[in-house]
Structure 1
Amino acid sequence: MRVHLGSDHAGLELKNHLMTHLVDAGHEVVDHGPFVYDALDDYPVFCLRAAEAVADEFDTQGSLGVVIGGSGNGEQIAANKVKGVRAALVWSQETAVLAREHNNANVISVGGRLHSLEDMTAFVDTFLATPYSDEERHTRRIGMLADYETTGDLPPLPASALTGPTDTSTDQ
């Protein structure tokens, strides 16, 4: 599998570790940077490139991506700005599994300052090894998000939301 990596200075050590680990596991790895430590670098420069590459290849090649920062929050936000990317912030093996099984996430984000190297490596391995469940309810929800991404139209409210709770306030 092709795996695209991007990070910032806080994720550089993990990114470099993952490069070796994933190649040793038989993956084709594409490093979108950074390539040297720079405490003032900007994560969008690297994470947007990794996410764009995943978006370009996910449907045809099944490529996935990993973006890494101090907390992973900004990197996930950046990746999710790319049309066709579903990036999930992962902080456990369970969230890595659910990102793939329920959301068909094609990018994960991890916080390089929040977990051990061993734990983060396990999160990435779990994510890459977990297939999408292809359950109808998950596919329906992903379709709603994809439609919104394309059209900007909100999904219709279900009938239960149209009746809603009754206002029992006495303010007039």
Structure 2
Amino acid sequence: MKISIGNDHAGTDYKFAVIKHLEAKGFTVTNYGTDSNDSVDYPDFVHPVAKDVASKKADFGIIICGSGNGANMTANKYQSVRSALCWTKEIVALARQHNNANILSIPARFTALPQVLEMVDTFFETAFEGGRHENRINKIPTTSC
């Protein structure tokens, strides 16, 4: 499975741990994130992840910033991206089951590393339920509101 990952300065340490964790499980990971703790602008590192997921160059994406909000807002500008801001494994499971999330947005300043790795595992172990949820997610994309 191909995963694209991006992060700003708040998520660098978590990004390295997530990459190591995923590669140990056999995933192929493309790193678009900063490798430094120096301040950067999160959109510069989130757009490539969202583009990979939208174009199906990657199966899924993971984005990490301080609150997770800015990264999530940026990723969700892409029509076929369903990025979910999550801070517990239960929210991750629902994002996959009900929303068919294809990008996981992690708030680095509000999660602990063991929690993050558990969320990542949940993201990839949880399937979309389809059914009534399929109709709902099909109503999300729009060209104008």
Same fold, TM-score > 0.5, yes or no: yes
Match of 2:48 in 1: 49
Q: 2:133 aligns with which of 123, 133, 138?
A: 138
Give the drift of 1:35: 2.5
Give the drift of 1:3: 1.0
Q: Deviations over 1:103-138 (max 9, x none)?
A: 001001011111110001100110111111111x21
Q: Which runs of at least 4 in structure 1 moved beyond 6 Å after TM superposition?
A: none
Query: Relative contact order (C-alpha < 8 Å, sep 6+): which is higher?
Result: 2
SS of residue in 1 equivalent to 2:109: coil
Question: Quick one: which amino acid aligns to residue 125 of structure 2?
Answer: A
CA distance in 2, matches of 1:9, 1:36: 6
CA distance in 1, matches of 2:30, 2:121: 16
Query: What TM-score do the two structures reach when normalised by structure 2?
Result: 0.95
Structure 2's unaligned 5+ residue stretches are: none
SS of residue in 1 equivalent to 2:56: helix
Match of 2:25 in 1: 25
Give the drift of 1:64: 0.6
Q: Which of these two proteins has the greater Rg computed from alpha carbons?
A: 1
Report the identity percentage.
39
Match of 2:119 in 1: 123
Q: Cα RMSD over matched residues?
A: 1.3
SS of residue in 2 equivalent to 1:23: helix
Structure 1's unaligned 5+ residue stretches are: 154-172
Counterparts of residues 80-159 of structure 1 (less than 5 Å): 80-135=76-131, 137-146=132-141, 149-150=142-143, 152=144
Q: Deviations over 1:50-78 (max 9, x none)?
A: 111011117xx7x0111001110111001
